[in-house]
A and B are shown apart, each in its own frame.
Chain A
Amino acid sequence: MLEISNLTHTYGSGPSAHNALGGIDLTVAEGELVCIVGPSGCGKSTLLRSIAGLLRPTGGQVVLNGSPVEQTPDNLAVVFQDYSRSLFPWMSVADNVSLPLRRKGMDKKQRKEAALEALEQVGLEGAGAKYPWQLSGGMQQRVSIARALAYRPALLLMDEPFGSVDAQTREELEDLTLRVRGHHNMTIVLITHDIDESVYVGDRVVVLSKAPAGIVGDLRVDLPGPRDQITTREHPDFVHLRAEVGRLVRGMRSQPASASQ
C-alpha cells in the first residue's frame, strides 16, 4: 500500500548542501507495522516528512495506495514526538481530537461522538473537556494517538512517538499502540531510535544507515503474540533480533546466518 522508490533528498545547494536521504526503496504491505530505526540525525524525520507530504523530496517518489504523494494525503495521520507542540493548547482535548474530522464531512454531533469514542479507546474517557496542558505528558500523547485514531487513516505515521515520556509510560503506550492497531487494521510506520522498541512493536524492522540514509537491513520479526513487556523481552528470538538490529545500527556487518530475508 506504500511504495517508496529511490527517494533522495538534499537540503540547500552548493558546498553547504546536506544530503539527508541517499536513495531509499521500501514497500509496506497493508496492515503491516513497520519500525524504521537508525542512528540520531540519520534522516528518519526527513523520510517521514516526505511520506506525509510535508516536504517535497528532491528525487524519487512516494506512492500511497496507488497515487503519488504530492500534498498531504487525506488518508494519512501523524503522531509527532513533541505532543506539547502538536496539540493545540487553546483547544480542549475533545476539540483537538475532533478538529481534523471536519474534513471528513461529519456534522458536529458525529464529530463529538467520534472524538469521545477515540478518547475511550486510549483510556481517556472523561478527559474531553480538559485542556492538553492539564494532562501529564503520557496522557497528552494518548490524546495525539486518539486524534489519529478518530481520523481513521489508512496509514498512520508515528515519529518517535514515545521519545518524550518516562520509561513506564513508554511501555504503556507501546502496548496501547499494539492494541488499537488490532481494532482498526491500520498500516503503521513507526520511526524510533530505540532498538528494543522497534523489535518489540514491529512486524518488521527496517534499519537506516547514517546520513545520507540508506537501508542497511530489513528484518522480519516473528515473535509469538500477543506481545508482553516481560515475556516477549526475555524470549530468545527477541534477544537475538535486538542484537542483530543493534549491530546494523552501529554499522557493523551482520552475521551471515541471520541476514535479512
Chain B
Amino acid sequence: MNRVLRAAGRLWAVPVVLVVWELVTRAAEDLSFPPPTTIAASMYEMWLTGPAERLWLTEAALENIPASVGRLLAGWLLAGVIGIALGIAMGRLPLLFRFLDPLVQFARAIPPPMLLPFFMALFAIGPRMQINVIVFGIIWPVLINAGEGARLVDRQHLDTARVFGLSRGQRLFQIILPSAMPKIFAGLRVSLSLALILMVISELVGSTDGIGFQLLDAQRSYDLPGVWGTIVVLGVLGYVLNSAFLAAERRVLSWHRAAKQTT
C-alpha cells in the first residue's frame, strides 16, 4: 500500500500531462496532433485486433515487431562479440593498439547514417544490409571500452596471476575479461540504444517489414495516429530493452558495485 502511494506521488504528473494533452488536442482539432485516446485506439487497431488463438496480436504485429527486434539483437550481439574480442586484443597488445587506434578513432567519428547508402549500394535492401549497418554503426563504443578496460587491468592482479602460474587462457578469462567487464557493459549499453536508432533508420530507407517500415507506411498513407502510435511503441521498446539490460548488468556486475562501495 505504501509503495503504491509512493509511486503515485512520483507519477502524478503523467496522468495530468495526458489529460491536458487530450483536452488541448481536442480543442485544437489539428489533424497532425491527434488526441492520446485516438492514438491509443489506433495502436489497438494496428496491433491487438487479431484472433484470440494468437493472443489477439494482428498479423502486422507478429510480422513487424519480431523482425525488427530480431535484427536489432542480431546486430547488437554480433557487434558485442566482435567488439569485445578486438577491443581486448588491442587493449593487451600495445603494438596492435598503436597501429589500429587512429583507424578506430576515425571510423568511430563517421556518423553512422553515412553507412546507409554504402551498405545499400553493397548489399541492396534487406536484412543483410540492415544488420551490417547496425554492426558497423554500434561496434565502436564496445570496442573502445573493452580496449580501455583490458588496458587498465590492475598490474597487481596480473602479477598475482603470474606468480600463481595461471595460463594465458586462464588469465584472459579469469582475470582480464572480468576486470574489463564494467567498462564493456558501459559500452554495450551505449551500443544498445544506438542499435535501436540504426534499426529504425535502416528500416525507414530500405525494408519491406519491421516497425520502421510500418512507421513509413503510416506516414505515406497520412495515418497520423498510426505514426504517433508507432513512435510510442518504439519508445516502449527502447525503455524495455534498456531496463532489461540494466537488470542484467546489476546481476553480472554485483561484485563491482559492492566492491566500489566498500573500498
Is chain B in direct contact with chain A in the complex (CB below 8 A)? yes
Binding site for B on A (CB under 8 A): 49, 52-54, 72, 74, 76-78, 80, 82, 84-86, 88-91, 99-100, 102-103, 131-134, 147, 151
A103 in contact with B166 (CB, 8 Å): yes
Asked whether any CB of chain A lies closer than 8 Å to the CB of B255, the reply is yes
B159 in contact with A99 (CB, 8 Å): no
What 6 new A-B contacts, CB under 8 Å, besides A54-B159, A88-B157, A100-B166?
Answer: A52-B159, A88-B174, A89-B255, A102-B170, A131-B259, A134-B258
Given A131-B258, A133-B255, A100:B165 Cβ within 8 A: yes
Interface size on B, residues (CB 8 A): 23
| A89→B259 CA distance, assembly (Å) | 7
Interface string of B149-170 (1 = CB under 8 A from A): 0000010110110111111001
| A133→B257 CA distance, assembly (Å) | 10
The 4 nearest A-B residue pairs measured at CB = A100-B164, A85-B156, A89-B259, A133-B259
A88 in contact with B175 (CB, 8 Å): yes
- What residues on A are CB-neighbors of B157 within 8 Å? 85-86, 88
B181 in contact with A86 (CB, 8 Å): no
- Rounded to whole Å, the gap between the CB of B249 and the closest CB of chain A is 14
A86 in contact with B255 (CB, 8 Å): no
Asked whether any CB of chain A lies closer than 8 Å to the CB of B256, the reply is yes
- What residues on B are CB-neighbors of A99 within 8 Å? 164, 166, 170, 174
User: Could you show 22 A-B contacts with beta carbons less than 8 Å apart?
Assistant: A49-B159, A52-B159, A54-B163, A72-B162, A72-B163, A72-B165, A80-B156, A80-B160, A82-B156, A85-B154, A88-B174, A88-B175, A88-B178, A90-B178, A90-B256, A99-B170, A100-B166, A103-B164, A131-B258, A133-B263, A134-B262, A151-B164
B159 in contact with A90 (CB, 8 Å): no
- What residues on A are CB-neighbors of B160 within 8 Å? 78, 80, 86
- What residues on A are CB-neighbors of B263 within 8 Å? 84, 133
- Rounded to whole Å, the gap between the CB of A49 and the closest CB of chain B is 8
- Rounded to whole Å, the gap between the CB of A180 and the closest CB of chain B is 18
Question: What is the chain A residue whose CB lies nearest that of B178?
Answer: A90
- What residues on B are CB-neighbors of A102 within 8 Å? 166, 170
| A110→B91 CA distance, assembly (Å) | 35
- What residues on B are CB-neighbors of A151 within 8 Å? 164
| A80→B161 CA distance, assembly (Å) | 12
| A8→B208 CA distance, assembly (Å) | 72
Question: What is the chain A residue whose CB lies nearest that of B158?
Answer: A54
Question: What is the chain B residue whose CB lies nearest that of A92?
Answer: B255
Given A80-B156, A85-B157, A90-B178, A54:B162 Cβ within 8 A: yes
